[in-house]
Structure 1
Amino acid sequence: MSEHSPSSERPATGSRSAPTLELGGSVWLRAGHETLGGAARIALLAAIRDTGSITSAAKAVGISYKSAWDAVDAMNNLAGEPLVMRAVGGKGGGGTALTPRGHRLIETFHAVEREHRKFIERASAAIEDFAGDWALIGRIGMKTSARNQLYGTVSAVTRGSVNDEISLALPGGQSVVSVVTHESTETLGLAVGAPAFALVKASWVMLVADEADAGQPLRLSARNQLSGLMTQVTRGAVNTEVSLALDGAAGSPPDVNSTVITAVVTNESADTLALAEGKRATAVFKASSVILGTAD
């Protein structure tokens, strides 16, 4: 799997230079259906190989000691066998070494990465807007049980004493707020301007039918309050599924390009709120209910 982004500029013909987009890319490896690691995790393995210390390796790749061990534990679990072995009492807080499988994984990754670079160069030259299309293919190919998969860009990172608050700007102009640990912020590379996606289960989304004072923030403890228009209301035996097309920037009404969020409520709640297509509502969910992810 891979993702791509504009990475450099080259001068155009003529007396003036104009930026031309070129493809960049990254590779990550899978164990079954689970992502084993990408460039960041392979870099951590290589640093462990080179330093023989998890403390030194963590410093070398710019993450905390805990984040490094969390990543190692995840890789060991997903691989089904140890990639990294720990020896208590070694230099730098305990010696750490790669197993033969860990060494081979680094070599395999670099070999695949070289071939991937050749593929990117050929595809970039042959296919118009390959970067945008390939990045989209990667996003829509993601499998998860969460019904709501919202793609956006990190617009703010607020550090707290224990957790961080991450704001993700959605394409239409509204934002989603998530609370994650410091380690998650580091591991996912969450920084302003970075692309990311938010996962929210439909059962975690509450709906509030808009009243006459629509547009005014609701007095609720839930940080996420996304307003829009109900475009589909599907009633089942017990629950009702509601699709809400979100408003655009500055409260502009939704259009065909609007982000859609889905909620599942009981039939009794749907009747009480008189939920119906064409009516306005607000989707409400806690920041702690939002799971953030990145492609690598």
Structure 2
Amino acid sequence: MSSSTNQPEFFAPWHVHLGDGEISPRRLHLLQAIEATGSVSQAAKQVDMTYKAAWDAVEIMNNLAGEPLVNRQHGGKGGGGATLTQTGLQIVTMHERLSAMQTMWMASLENTDADILPLMRRIKMQTSARNSFYGTVETVKTGEVNAEVTLKLQGDDRIVATVTADSVTRMGLKPGVTAWALVKASWVVLAKQQAKGLISARNFLCGQVSRITEGPVNVEVVVELKGGNTLSSIITHSALEELKLAEGEPICALIKASHVLIGVDE
């Protein structure tokens, strides 16, 4: 089942394809649970996710949908409320309707001798990169060997990537084309705003610390950018102490253009 270009496209078993971001059935169930409980921690328990995995899923869904699906209210450790935005509610409502229709359709086949009907499946993009964004190519500056591609994300955030001139031609990169930007968390360097004039990284994206998860070796810091996107960075415990980071503190993310991978849907 599909609709117009600006509307979600659903597949059975139901995935929602909104813009160029896909929400899996498990994440759809997470959205349902958030709506029912008003809490990410309680929703995580309902769908058998860890609290961290649930927040990771929320941040990815907000990024890939091109607009927030979940409004967050930060609380203490393991706490904080959450509500769905209007778009999030619409997706949950449509998912519930389609699931009911699918149940009825399957029930109608129980007494027939028909072979199992093939269902349309969409191949999902899977990547180990912690940070996944989608946006629209704004500019392409081509040189003899490499090209600089600027991708406009939601909320006027922008990310710049350096790719080969051959990649520009092969992927059809030009202004207006929708593309993916992938960045490994270990490639994201954190710095204070005043360091901007002292670094050579092409991307200098500022926002505030949204979440800090300390592990036995490293620390994951999630930065909420001014445009609403989130970035995850892996740093050391000593770096966390030196930067004096805490939730709500302003911080900037530095990413070399050569560390941004660009992809497009076929």
The bucket for the TM-score relative to the shorter chain is 0.5 to 0.7
Q: Quick check: 1:134 aligned with 2:17? A: yes
Q: 2:215 aligned with 1:236, yes or no?
A: yes
Aligned to 2:126: 143
What is the CA–CA distance in structure 2 between the aligned matches of 1:139 and 1:152, rounded to whole Å? 14
Deviation at 1:129?
2.8
**What amino acid is the match of 2:254?**
V
Answer whether contact 2:20 2:134 (CA < 8 A) is retained.
no
Which residue of 2 is the match for residue 190 of structure 1? Answer: 173
* Whole-angstrom CA distance in 2 between matches of 1:273 and 1:165: 31
Unaligned runs of 5+ in 1: 1-121, 249-257
Look up the equivalent residue of 2:220 and give its one-letter code: E
Provide Cα deviations, 1:114-153, integer angstroms capped at 9, x if missing partner. Answer: xxxxxxxx6439xx93459534475444210000001111
Structure 2 residue aligned with 1:247 = 226
**1:97-108 alignment to 2 at 5 Å?**
none
In the TM superposition, what are the counterparts of 1:110-125 in structure 2 within 5 Å? 123-124=2-3
Question: Take 2:126 and 2:159, find their aligned partners in 1: how far apart are those partners?
Answer: 21
1:40 is matched with which residue?
none
When residues 240 and 204 of structure 1 are mapped into structure 2, their CA distance, relative to the original with a 3 A threshold, is same
Report deviation, 1:243.
0.4
- Separation in structure 2 between the aligned mates of residue 179 and residue 143 of structure 1, nearest angstrom: 22
**2:257 is matched with which residue: 278, 282, 287?**
287
The whole-number CA distance in structure 1 between the counterparts of 2:237 and 2:161 is 29
Q: Percent identity over the alignment?
A: 40
User: Counterpart of 1:60?
Assistant: none
Cα distance in 2 for residues equivalent to 1:139 and 1:124: 15
Q: After superposition, what is the alpha-carbon deviation per residue over 1:185-207, rounded to whole angstroms, capped at 9, x for unaligned?
A: 11111100100010000000000
Alignment partner of 1:218: what SS?
helix
> Residues 158 and 166 of structure 1 are in contact (CA less than 8 Å); yes or no, is this contact kept in structure 2?
yes
- The verdict on how the C-alpha distance between 1:220 and 1:278 changes in structure 2, with shifts beyond 3 A counting, is same
In structure 2, runs of 5+ residues without a counterpart are 11-15, 24-123
> Given the alignment, which residue of 137, 140, 150 partners 1:154?
137
Task: Please say which structure displays the higher CA radius of gyration.
Answer: 1
- In structure 2, the residue matched to 1:94 is none
Indicate if the aligned counterparts of 1:209 and 1:275 stay in contact, CA closer than 8 A: no
Deviation at 1:173, TM superposition (A): 0.8
Distance in structure 2 (CA, Å) of the matches to 1:290 and 1:124: 32
Aligned residues: 161
Distance 1:234 1:190, change over 3 A: same
Output the CA distance in 2 between the equivalents of 1:136 and 1:268: 39
Where does 1:19-168 land on structure 2 (aligned, <5 Å)?
123-124=2-3, 129-131=7-9, 133-136=16-19, 139-140=22-23, 141-168=124-151
Equivalent in the alignment of 2:241? 271
Mark the CA change 1:130 to 1:233 in structure 2 (over 3 Å): closer, same or farther. closer
Q: Give the Cα separation in 2 of the matches to 1:205 and 1:293.
A: 19
Provide the rounded CA distance (Å) in 2 between the counterparts of 1:131 and 1:139.
9
Q: 1:137 to 1:172 in 2, by over 3 A?
A: closer
| Cα RMSD (Å) | 2.4
Cα gap change, 1:278 to 1:164, in 2 (>3 Å): same
Q: Distance in 1 between matches of 2:214 and 2:17?
A: 36
The TM-score, its normalising length taken from structure 2, stands at 0.56
SS at match of 2:139: strand
Paired with 1:238 and 1:124, the residues of 2 have a C-alpha distance of: 47
2:73 corresponds to which residue? none
Distance (whole Å) between structure 2 residues aligned to residue 123 and residue 288 of structure 1: 36
In 2, Cα distance between the equivalents of 1:283 and 1:200?
12
